[in-house]
Amino acid sequence: MSVVGIDLGFLNCYIAVARSGGIETIANEYSDRCTPACISLGSRTRAIGNAAKSQIVTNVRNTIHGFKKLHGRSFDDPIVQTERIRLPYELQKMPNGSAGVKVRYLEEERPFAIEQVTGMLLAKLKETSENALKKPVADCVISIPSFFTDAERRSVMAAAQVAGLNCLRLMNETTAVALAYGIYKQDLPPLDEKPRNVVFIDMGHSAYQVSVCAFNKGKLKVLATTFDPYLGGRNFDEALVDYFCDEFKTKYKINVKENSRALLRLYQECEKLKKLMSANASDLPLNIECFMNDLDVSSKMNRAQFEQLCASLLARVEPPLKAVMEQASLQREDISSIEIVGGATRIPAVKEQITKFFLKDISTTLNADEAVARGCALQCAILSPAFKVREFSITDLVPYSITLRWKTSFEDGTGECEVFCKNHPAPFSKVITFHKKETFELEAFYTNLHEVPYPDARIGSFTIQNVFPQSDGDSSKVKVKVRVNIHGIFSVASASVIEKQNLEGDHSDAPMETETSFKNENKDNMDKMQVDQEEGGHQKCHAEHTPEEEIDHTGAKTKSAVSDKQDRLNQTLKKGKVKSIDLPIQSSLCRQLGQDLLNSYIENEGKMIMQDKLEKERNDAKNAVEEYVYDFRDRLGTVYEKFITPEDMNKLSVILEDTENWLYEDGEDQPKQVYVDKLQELKDEKYDHLDPAEMEKVEKYISDAMSWLNSKMNAQNKLSLTQDPVVKVSEIVAKSKELDNFCNPIIYKPKPKVEVPEDKAKANSEHNGPMDGQSGNETKSDSTKDSSQHTKSSGEMEVD
Ligand code: ATP
Ligand code: MG
């Protein structure tokens, strides 16, 4: 089984795989370890990755990039609307209200949901890993920003499904980096000692994330994460673009922002300039030829100017650093190391801001581009049963506090309970007890919407069904298990009602016995929480912080690892005192993609992959004809030249030229078979039917004859002309005849008869000629003629 980690970046994607020798980053078909997050739709095919990036400026409206932030959002979402202004292609409201893109593909206007777009990209990354590993890839771990909400996470999961990937974990980017850092560290403090605290900072193209993690031997715990989801390398590019747009307006009287192609070129040049400024503090030029209205533009900038221009962006580096330390209740001196990754942390002023805050040198030992993918591959190896990896436990956290709300029969009408506080360890499950007489609904939402970079607090609603009063009219005790799973997604995982069996000796205080707990290989913890709404309307809600463990990493429970308490419950259940009945839960999740829609996306992706494959085959067939023409022309002027008469040379040149012209005219856009036929027509099929084993015999026979002749000639050369020759002409003629008798029946074996339409046969015979055996179909009489020529020439060679 393959073990793959994918860094799904806003700009750049990386794939890492675990092999027996360690983690490796994979290169794509361009030998590039980075695959641009870019898709270009065309009239016949799609280009994804590097091939698409080169079309950003040429196929402006149909080349999709910068779409990571559209996941799980409605079209009307303010973030989508802000992004929309920046994008040179069109966004579209999908029928379910989500944000999608509108592009021309296969000669028609087509909407694509964001899950389809990322699905295309992931399918490409899947193919790249399959090519590198030479085997199918399905299981993987995909990175996402730690600030992604449930809707965004679910949307990425759906995209993975569209690509045919089985995502074992959505992993927070900084957590992946922390794993890539920690797993190889041999000197981490033992479990009973103070942990080593390390800050991880990732500034990519679109976002800035910080996390602080505590490491002990074989263990990593994320203590806090903070972020600025709107600060990244692209903001620095934008600052430069704005500056040059203003300058060009006065200097050249052009409005760059009105011309999307020019604007895209300016973005590309500004990104290059920004990178150059990271290495060089002096004045650097910006020159773009034929920029707009056939105008060449030029300007310059230096690092000091750049830093001044970006002062407000640089001021945003510190707040998340400050916040992360506060949330983790740590002081600067508690931090052992500060590790930075992500392309934009290469900006010297960004580094300076970080150093200034921590008053400490920052470490750049991790691979700034590949650490996220490597961490994901490591996580995938840990999760995969096929791989043996050093024991390493990873505890991530819940980024935003989550509250449950439900209706009550009391005056205020609702009950609420915060089930997960901000920075609560995750994955984690909790069991909450409700006292209910009827089906009830739990609404989950983010407690503090202002902390969440998302416009909607709702996570989803969960209806616990089949709840009835007990036989004595009392409320039923309903145990509801809520969970933040391995992907960081919240759900009401299960619900059950414990029914008392009115047997003798029954104790009605059974509820505490009903806390189910399971041992967890993945260290998924579980709290018990009592929500008792029967006490005079006052909502009692407390969690017992006795972290018990629960199996959860794939959602499956392991019977062999049941804890003591579960044993007791089982015994109680066996004795028939109480009965646990699972209750059905109906979930309605915010911005959830329906299964039917998802299936249709999966089906469509399959069709598009097939279309691309067919188109590639068609192109390959066309290229083969073109290549053949060029190659043959080249040979005509070199190796074949001596062996061809001027008339034949002329004839062949005309055929080649005709074919070349055809390729640019009528033959420009033909079905694959037409090219295959064309090539066949050009190629000589004279020897196609010959048996390779027989031909080997011929070769052997010839080389033996050659050795015989050479030895005779050598011996002859040593003799004077007055001595008797070592070999006589008659012997040579006999040998030649022997050679003909053996070889000719094999070489000139007639071609099996093929039915050729009369006119075609005629046309072909007109093109025939001794193209070193490369011209059209031969008739039998031609081969006979050839045969005699061949015999003659071989005779001449012998005399040579
Ligand atoms: P995100 O993490 O937001 O999803 P990403 O992972 O695609 O985005 P990265 O590949 O980490 O982003 O970083 C890309 C950014 O880093 C780009 O803005 C790029 O211009 C910038 N960058 C790369 N190298 C340098 C450099 N030497 N100096 C300045 N900026 C750089
Ligand atoms: Mg990144």
The H or E element spanning position 436 is strand 428-436
- For 13, the token pair is 């994607």
- Which of 275, 280, 339, 352 most suits a substitution to test ligand 1, by most atoms within 8 Å of the C-beta? 275
424 and 352 in a common domain: no
Of residues 156, 143, 117, the one with CA closest to residue 37: 117
Ligand number with the minimum distance to the CA of 276: 1
- Nearest residue by C-alpha to atom 2 in ligand 1: 204
119 and 98 in a common domain: yes
Atom of ligand 1 nearest to the CA of 8: 4
492 with 462: CB under 8 angstroms?
A: yes
Task: Label the pairing between strands 476-484 and 490-500.
Answer: antiparallel
Task: Label the pairing between strands 219-228 and 393-397.
Answer: parallel
477 with 440: CB under 8 angstroms?
A: no
**Residue 482 to residue 263: CA distance in whole angstroms:** 49
247 and 376 in a common domain: no
- Whichever domain contains 124, its CATH number is 3.30.420.40
Considering only CA atoms, give the Rg of the chain.
37
- Nearest residue by C-alpha to atom 29 in ligand 1: 275
Q: What residues have a C-beta under 5 A from ligand 2, the ion?
A: 9, 204
Judged by DSSP in three states, 693 sits in helix
State the average pLDDT for the chain. Answer: 86
362 and 304 in a common domain: no
The verdict on residue 323 lying in a domain is: yes
Confidence of residue 568 (pLDDT cuts 50, 70, 90): low
451 and 303 in a common domain: no
433 and 302 in a common domain: no
Ligand number with the minimum distance to the CA of 34: 1
Residue 464 pLDDT exceeds 70: yes
Range of the domain at 612: 596-682
Of 393, 418, 438, the domain-final residue? 393
Of 393, 411, 429, the domain-final residue? 393
- What pLDDT score was predicted for residue 569? 53
Average pLDDT over residues 756-773: 44
Atom of ligand 1 nearest to the CA of 341: 11
Q: In angstroms, what is the span from residue 202 Cα to ligand 2's centroid?
A: 7
Average pLDDT over residues 63-90: 97
The verdict on residue 551 lying in a domain is: no
Q: In angstroms, what is the span from residue 12 Cα to ligand 1's centroid?
A: 8
Least confident of 133-147, 426-440, 493-507, 660-674: 493-507
- What pLDDT score was predicted for residue 570? 56
The verdict on residue 799 lying in a domain is: no
| Positive or negative: CA dihedral 118, 119, 120, 126 | positive
- Whichever domain contains 482, its CATH number is 2.60.34.10
Atom of ligand 1 nearest to the CA of 12: 7
Atom of ligand 1 nearest to the CA of 10: 4
Judged by DSSP in three states, 132 sits in helix
- What pLDDT score was predicted for residue 135? 92
332 with 359: CB under 8 angstroms?
A: yes
| Positive or negative: CA dihedral 768, 773, 779, 785 | positive
Average pLDDT over residues 520-524: 36
**pLDDT (tens digit per residue) in 697-749:** 888 999 999 999 999 988 888 888 888 899 999 999 999 999 999 988 888 88
Structural domain total, the chain: 4
The verdict on residue 708 lying in a domain is: no
134 and 45 in a common domain: yes
Residue 149 pLDDT exceeds 60: yes
32 and 108 in a common domain: yes
Average pLDDT over residues 303-325: 98
Residue 544 pLDDT exceeds 60: no
Q: In angstroms, what is the span from residue 89 Cα to ligand 1's centroid?
A: 22
Pocket-forming residues, ligand 1, beta carbon under 6 Å: 9-12, 68, 204-207, 232-234, 271, 274-275, 278, 342-344, 346-347, 369
**Chain centroid, CA 770 distance in Å:** 52
Of 288, 312, 336, the domain-final residue? 312
Q: In angstroms, what is the span from residue 259 Cα to ligand 2's centroid?
A: 29
**pLDDT (tens digit per residue) in 616-654:** 999 999 999 999 999 999 988 888 888 888 888 888 899
Ligand number with the minimum distance to the CA of 366: 1
- Which of 6, 7, 10, 11 most suits a substitution to test ligand 1, by most atoms within 8 Å of the C-beta? 11
The verdict on residue 720 lying in a domain is: no
**In the β-sheet with 540-550, what is the strand arrangement from edge to edge?**
540-550, 524-532, 428-436, 476-484, 490-500, 578-582
Confidence of residue 778 (pLDDT cuts 50, 70, 90): very low
- For 430, the token pair is 């909790």
- For 359, the token pair is 């008053």
- For 159, the token pair is 């995209």
Q: In angstroms, what is the span from residue 209 Cα to ligand 2's centroid?
A: 9
**Residue 35 to residue 50: CA distance in whole angstroms:** 6
**Residue 291 to residue 273: CA distance in whole angstroms:** 16
Q: In angstroms, what is the span from residue 346 Cα to ligand 1's centroid?
A: 8
- Nearest residue by C-alpha to atom 30 in ligand 1: 344
210 and 251 in a common domain: no
- Which of 12, 303, 310 most suits a substitution to test ligand 1, by most atoms within 8 Å of the C-beta? 12
448 with 400: CB under 8 angstroms?
A: yes
16 and 120 in a common domain: yes
- Whichever domain contains 638, its CATH number is 1.20.1270.10
